[in-house]
Amino acid sequence: MYLTGAAQIDITPDWPVDLCGFVAREQPSTGIHDRLYARALYLEGGGKRLLWLHADLLGFPGFYADYIKSLLHECDGLEEHEVMISATHTHSGPATLPLFECGEIDPKYLSLDDCLLTRQLLAVSEAAMRDTEPTRAWHCEGKSDLCIDRRGFSTAHVDPIVGVVGFRREDGSYKAVIANYAVHLVAMGGANRMISADMFGAASRAIQGALPGVPVVLFTAGACGNLNPPEVGDDFPQMERWGGGLGDIVVASLKGAEAVADGLSSSLIRQTVPFPTLTPTTAKEFADRLRLEVEGNESPTANRIRKACDRWEAKRENQPNSLTVPIQTINIGGIRFVGIGGEIFSIVTPLLRRHFGTPTYTVSYANDVIAYFAPSAAYLEGGYELESAPIFFGTPPIPMYTIESMMLASTRA
């Protein structure tokens, strides 16, 4: 049995904000298509406890996730490893990551001072921890062919598995559900200026509407750094169909779920990733590759790309020589969720499953969003994730720090 608490709270800004995730987007938002939520799952079992905060956002910067964890430690005595903070990675939410020219963060929404997001995250945490009751955990898997490898190189890989853990009361109703699937939430592309939780929001609504108990649903992003839906566009009905289909898979799979053993643990490490040394000359050469793609183009998007390159070059003067990637492993009765603070290519999850020998799911965008991390072969292929994205992230190009290395680090968490 697990003592389980769950709650959700609206985190939608009701004023125009910059949206986050696309350089090819005019700002700010023009309205709200569907509401955004932060969801909290609180578990106690075997003398251990865990608070998992999950939000309909692009991601949380590491400094902010650490700040929220410090507040929860002050208020509730939760240790750093007892809290995981993750995001769905919707590209139609307010700017929450400091990406160059992809939307500016509104301090009324996210800051280290009083802001809407902090107030709501603390409120939903307290609500979950106050409202606990006994449940049993049930595990199942479904499959979806929705995602596609967007890169088109020889390393193409998809992960069709939809992982599910449901927390069920004795009367058969559900208190909470964790779902996990590897796909980028870009069904609504850069032309969209309406706030939306994208497909996982639609999936969560479908699950809540179909399962008894109206459970709180944490629909999490798997290792999806290379995976998109079939189209990136502005078709809201199509997005709703795709998301509803994922929700239907979760509901159908739970009919054949198996009971999960008791047991709860969580651990956290910070893995150091070194940066290459960039001289002013090599930094300019790297940025010039992206500038060349928009040479002669005077569109607003092209101008933002050039500005991002300029900002990236200027930042190189004060760049640290390494970064740290948070890797957190949650074990619920032998079902593992490995949270990594970055955009992870999908091949990592089957590697982790083979290593642990038990059901394992990668949770991308957990506790930070630093960069893309790819298998070694992908570094040789190049592509947006490894050649252009570092400029928007504001980091040097990540060295060949392979998925294999990330996997080994995660086993120490």
Chain segment 119-132, per-residue pLDDT in tens: 999 999 999 999 99
Answer yes or no: is pLDDT of 267 > 80.
yes
pLDDT at residue 405 greater than cutoff 80? no
pLDDT value at position 141?
98
In angstroms, how far is the first alpha carbon of the chain from the final one? 24
Mean pLDDT over all residues of the chain?
94
Does the CA dihedral 86-88-91-92 come out positive or negative? negative
- Rounded-to-10 torsion of CA 257, 260, 266, 267: -90
The pLDDT assigned to 272 comes to 85
Mean pLDDT score, 153-159: 93
pLDDT of residue 413: 64
Residues in the chain, how many? 413
DSSP string, 89-156: --TTSB--S--TTS-PPPTTTSSSSS-HHHHHHHHHHHHHHHSEEEEEEEEEEEE----EESS-STT-
Predicted local distance difference test score (pLDDT) of residue 404: 64
Q: Exposed, middle or buried: residue 334 (CB in 10 Å: 0-12, 13-18, 19+)? A: middle
Amino acid of residue 265: S
Strands (E), 296-334: 322-332
Residue 171: pLDDT above 70?
yes
pLDDT band at 50 (very low <50, low <70, confident <90, very high): very high
Q: Is the pLDDT of residue 237 over 70?
A: yes
- pTM here? 0.95
Residue 143's pLDDT band (cuts 50, 70, 90): very high
**pLDDT score of 400:** 67
Whether 52 shows a pLDDT value over 80: the answer reads: yes
Q: What is the pLDDT of residues 306-357, one digit of tens each?
A: 999 999 999 887 777 788 899 999 999 999 999 999 999 999 899 889 888 8
State the DSSP code for 316. G
Please determine, for residue 239, whether its predicted confidence score (pLDDT) is greater than 70: yes
Q: CA-CA distance, 272 to 341, in Å (whole number)?
A: 12
Radius of gyration for the chain, computed over Cα atoms and rounded to the nearest angstrom: 20
Residue 378 per-residue DSSP state: H
**315 burial via Cβ count (<10 Å: 0-12, 13-18, 19+):** middle
Q: Which two tokens stand for residue 106?
A: 């509104």
| 294-to-280, 288, 303, 306, 307 alpha-carbon distances in Å | 21, 10, 8, 8, 12
How high is the pLDDT of residue 17?
A: 98
Instruction: Identify which has the larger pLDDT, 358 or 177.
Output: 177
pLDDT of residue 201: 98
pLDDT of residue 277: 79
Q: Write the pLDDT tens digit of every residue in 191-227.
A: 999 999 999 999 999 999 999 999 999 999 999 999 9
Residue bearing tokens 């003592």: 3
Predicted pLDDT at 212 = 97
- Confidence at residue 349, expressed as pLDDT on a 0 to 100 scale: 93
